[in-house]
Amino acid sequence: MTEKDLINHSQRVGKVANLVIFLGILGIILSILALSVSQGLAQRGYGFGYITIGLFMVGLGYGIRYRYKYCLYAAIGLFMILSGNFLFRFCIHHTAYLSLRLALCSWVSFRLLQSLPSMQMLIATNTLPDKSNRFMELLLKQKRV
């Protein structure tokens, strides 16, 4: 195993962790908007229940970031369940919004499944996932200029 391969595994798991954290934060923000401002978001399923799911996603993302394989398994299960839920709801209602959420959850499930071997490699080599965030690097670069 070369160091370049190890960096690729580290980056793959780090990116998946960042994706799960981002989607959790997005779900929390949309749920707060649904509870306070937007009736349209509330009708689409956002609310107190999705705040709980969003907090769970954020926790799982940080668990993945700190190399807990059970958090990765739980995130895979969560996104598979969400994909099944959106598939069931899409079969009943046939809306573009549900197809978008189904595609997003299915894509995240696929990315999580792809990162399983990388997580196992990181555990075997006792290496943490990459915690860098390109958006924060861009922000810090703009502050220096």
Annotated domain spans of the chain: 3-144
Tell me the pLDDT of the chain (145 aa) as tens digits. 566 665 688 888 989 999 999 999 998 998 888 888 877 777 777 888 889 999 999 999 999 998 888 999 999 999 999 999 999 999 998 888 889 999 999 999 999 999 999 999 888 888 888 777 665 566 666 666 5
- Tell me if 58 sits within 8 A of 25, measured CB to CB: yes
**Closest alpha carbon to 57 in 9, 120, 105, 126:** 105
**Closest alpha carbon to 32 in 55, 4, 59, 13:** 55
- Tell me if 100 sits within 8 A of 87, measured CB to CB: no
Residue 101: its H or E element: helix 96-114
> Computed from CA positions of residues 86, 114, 19, 138, in that sequence, does the dihedral angle turn out positive or negative?
negative
Nearest-angstrom CA–CA distance, 38 and 84: 26
- Going along 1-145, which residue ranges are E strands? none
Query: What pTM was estimated for this model as a whole?
Result: 0.84
Nearest-angstrom CA–CA distance, 105 and 22: 13
